[in-house]
Structure 1
């Protein structure tokens, strides 16, 4: 017996034993703990690898041409990431950001390819460590989600249980990356599990807390330091103004992301994308050094009160003592960071917009408050407005205000700013939501009809269906050169009332209804006995493509008031039929599955 068969038997026996000895609820908690441990280790590994690569390139590489080569590092990082994907992953998919995780939940039974556990870490560490201007949070969430998904599948758990563990893994990744267990848990609930029940909290709490402990014990360096006592009531009006600015910018960010994605999709050669992105990044980093890597260093310098540091490390250092130049440079860095992050991701690098959204939001908050202070009319706390801008940008772009509030409060220690954070995130989120119905993560899924929407149950359930699962192909096929008398036995004894006419090559030619064939065979239409099936066939009211969205299929059926439609592939070859009966049966089954979603 080969090894895979032995392993399969061992897993099967292990699962039978645990089902007998351990209740499902307790077993989920144990697996959530294990997911948290592995997720915390993955987060620590990713942070250690990324910062190790960056430190080596910046501190250990010694050459008189170092700073010229320095500009090529982002190009090298993106190139290595693309080479890794094409060489080691090949036909398997390496997703970017949170969107593929949400797609896995809604359309792929929460299954994520196992290679994402390590591939996300390797490619993002290379991309960001070499200077790619993106964040590590989305890759580690993806890696954690892959850990949870594959552990659930390993133990033979159901869809709802695998989905819960997937969310635990993603939450553990966020918790380990930021040392923020509460934000990690809220992130999973707000982004991945918008409909949840109380029992979901326990596994999420365990996995996020465990991940934070493991990650912090290995890689204890905090992300940000902020010392703040409180906020003043007189600044409330300015927090509202900042919220409108950040909310508007989040709309711009999302629209620019969509436009750049379309432009890059026109470039079919992946290495051409690498060159375009790598060279562009090098130029941008040369002008704006804060774009190198995640960009968190610039934010920490602002929180430390070192407001002039961005200019001091740039080619414009001679203007670092001029306040208005600092503000202008910060605003230019905001727009440059937006471009840098998006071209990094579209060019083949791995990362996410989670981190860049924090950076641009923080810089907007800094430029706003520091600029107003220069007028002498007000005296705003620059650090407070910086973290408020970070929260607002995250809430607007992700449509996740609660995650933004608790994440910023945890990673900066700014719990005293809870009221301004709530105000800024709520306004920024509402502005983005009014202009753009979907977040930067869900827009693509919504356009493809793959988004689970808990506001529209019917569309949600239909989006979860795949046509191939409701396809019926047990119909009697008639050939175009046959006569009714030749197939009289099949016609009389069939249980179907429609017959597809299909050529020998599989090409669909039309349909014939049983009523007409029976009338011909019974002599009511004797002239029909002399006609071939091709002559008797009629064009159907409509046809359905095999890859069609189920919502579109139901729209066609309702518009034409038909109960059944033929299904063809892209070349027009017959595949079968789809009927309302089959759709309704599948619909009921999915409703049952949704109704029990995470109920214990």
Structure 2
């Protein structure tokens, strides 16, 4: 089993690398070359590519008869690990991974990390089915593959292990945890060979003070409330689109693409994954409060619309984007009251908003620390993330992954 976990981790890393390369090629060839400061008529790809990408996403899902159903791909992985791994539709990954790459490459305001979890989980389920292993062993492979996906996506094997604990309920310690750890380490090693650069590079932060801890509490409360609101909004939009019977299924992502394109003409930063904008914020680039507010509302709004209209992608990257911008806004206000570095709160906001959306605070802390190779602010990250998690649980009761399980579609009247 240990050898299988190591092979699965390495194979997942290769799959994630290929997925990310595909996203990059589509984005740079489609709209990434456009000069955002150029004349409006030269920025036409920012409108056309999201619309065309959305229509193509809808047509592919329609032609392949992919079911139109509520929820998120990681929800299927959770059910496989906790309930019945044999029922996991691993054969769909051959369609879902390319469609997710097309979604992100054409400008959907989502992220590549959750598809990485699906790639790993599906490879694990496929391997277990082909090997004829027992139910428990297949569940072990699915959990191992999912952890390998996070490890490969973020260069964060320890955070990937905690992700399986917080999201999939893998017990610590347990025999399954050994396979999860082995797969995560193999994925990290393979990805370091193929793509050694860190996801972000965050400068060293100022020494933490009592004031920063107190303001971190407030930021955690705000992030938790925003995360809870975002979860409800995403699924409200998804249920609305599912119930929109007068519009054919294949056209629905195109409608989301229209909104993406119209906003992207003026704010191209909110299109796609957005790592460059996140890096700029944590590098200390000075943006006015009005621009930061506009970026925050536009990014999170388009995240909910992209997900709800049928684009495929994940929640980590937009959570990091929204959290960094929200934290920078918060830091500007704090800077007026007490001396400090707004970048510190941008970093804290990334972890706090992710914790408020996916309800995995320890994973959020270690991910932000690992992707930046910066552990100086871990106490503040932990404080804000735990508070954001607590507030979000109180307000919405379920994460972005478990919401469709707690609130099934029949509980929502369709328009």
Settle same-fold status: TM greater than 0.5.
yes
How far did residue 107 of structure 1 move? 4.6
Maintained 8 Å contact 1:296/1:359: yes
Q: Say if 1:66 and 1:354 are closer, same or farther in 2 by CA, change over 3 A.
A: same
> Are 1:175 and 2:137 counterparts?
no
- Matched residues in 2 for 1:184 and 1:196: separation? 13
1:372 aligned residue: 334
2:253 aligned residue: 274
2:302 aligned residue: 340
How far did residue 351 of structure 1 move? 0.4
- Matched residues in 2 for 1:264 and 1:88: separation? 19
Query: Could you tell me which of 87, 95, 99 is aligned with 2:75?
Result: 99
Maintained 8 Å contact 1:112/1:150: no
2:271 aligned residue: 292
Matches of residues 317-466 of structure 1 in structure 2 within 5 Å?
326-373=288-335, 375=336, 377-448=337-408
- Matched residues in 2 for 1:343 and 1:92: separation? 16
Q: What CA deviation, in whole Å up to 9, does each residue of 1:67-123 have, x standing for no partner?
A: 113212112222222222222355698973421212333454343233334333211
Maintained 8 Å contact 2:69/2:242: no
> Are 1:52 and 2:25 counterparts?
yes
**Cα RMSD over matched residues?**
2.4
Query: Could you tell me which of 217, 233, 242 is aligned with 1:240?
Result: 217
Q: Say if 1:327 and 1:235 are closer, same or farther in 2 by CA, change over 3 A.
A: same
> Are 1:36 and 2:36 counterparts?
no
Q: Say if 1:93 and 1:238 are closer, same or farther in 2 by CA, change over 3 A.
A: closer
Consecutive unaligned residues of structure 1, counting only runs of 5 or more, are: 1-27, 309-325, 450-600
SS of the residue corresponding to residue 416 of structure 1 reads: coil
- TM-score computed with the length of structure 1 as normaliser: 0.64
> Are 1:112 and 2:88 counterparts?
yes
Greater RCO (CA < 8 Å, at least 6 residues apart)? 2
Maintained 8 Å contact 1:78/1:344: no
SS of the residue corresponding to residue 134 of structure 1 reads: coil
Q: What CA deviation, in whole Å up to 9, does each residue of 1:225-247 have, x standing for no partner?
A: 01215532132111111111111
Consecutive unaligned residues of structure 2, counting only runs of 5 or more, are: 410-415
- TM-score computed with the length of structure 2 as normaliser: 0.91
SS of the residue corresponding to residue 200 of structure 2 reads: coil
Matches of residues 126-165 of structure 1 in structure 2 within 5 Å?
126-165=102-141
Maintained 8 Å contact 1:397/1:439: yes
Q: What CA deviation, in whole Å up to 9, does each residue of 1:38-71 have, x standing for no partner?
A: 1000111111111122122246689995411321
Q: Say if 1:159 and 1:196 are closer, same or farther in 2 by CA, change over 3 A.
A: farther
- Matched residues in 2 for 1:106 and 1:171: separation? 15
**Structure with the largest fraction of helix:** 2
Bigger Rg over Cα: 1
Query: Could you tell me which of 226, 230, 234 is aligned with 1:249?
Result: 226
- Matched residues in 2 for 1:204 and 1:142: separation? 15
Maintained 8 Å contact 1:120/1:143: no
Q: Say if 1:106 and 1:371 are closer, same or farther in 2 by CA, change over 3 A.
A: same
Q: Say if 1:109 and 1:218 are closer, same or farther in 2 by CA, change over 3 A.
A: closer
- Matched residues in 1 for 2:325 and 2:175: separation? 39
Q: Say if 1:276 and 1:131 are closer, same or farther in 2 by CA, change over 3 A.
A: same
Maintained 8 Å contact 1:145/1:166: yes
Q: What CA deviation, in whole Å up to 9, does each residue of 1:469-527 have, x standing for no partner?
A: xxxxxxxxxxxxxxxxxxxxxxxxxxxxxxxxxxxxxxxxxxxxxxxxxxxxxxxxxxx
Counting matched residue pairs gives 404
Maintained 8 Å contact 1:48/1:219: no
Q: Say if 1:445 and 1:370 are closer, same or farther in 2 by CA, change over 3 A.
A: same
Q: What CA deviation, in whole Å up to 9, does each residue of 1:232-280 have, x standing for no partner?
A: 2132111111111111111211221232122212213213313321111
SS of the residue corresponding to residue 415 of structure 1 reads: coil
How far did residue 408 of structure 1 move? 0.7
How far did residue 347 of structure 1 move? 1.9
Maintained 8 Å contact 1:103/1:445: no
- Matched residues in 2 for 1:412 and 1:230: separation? 15
Maintained 8 Å contact 2:52/2:254: no
Matches of residues 539-554 of structure 1 in structure 2 within 5 Å?
none
Q: Say if 1:112 and 1:131 are closer, same or farther in 2 by CA, change over 3 A.
A: same
> Are 1:204 and 2:180 counterparts?
yes
- Matched residues in 1 for 2:311 and 2:147: separation? 23
SS of the residue corresponding to residue 90 of structure 2 reads: coil
SS of the residue corresponding to residue 192 of structure 1 reads: coil
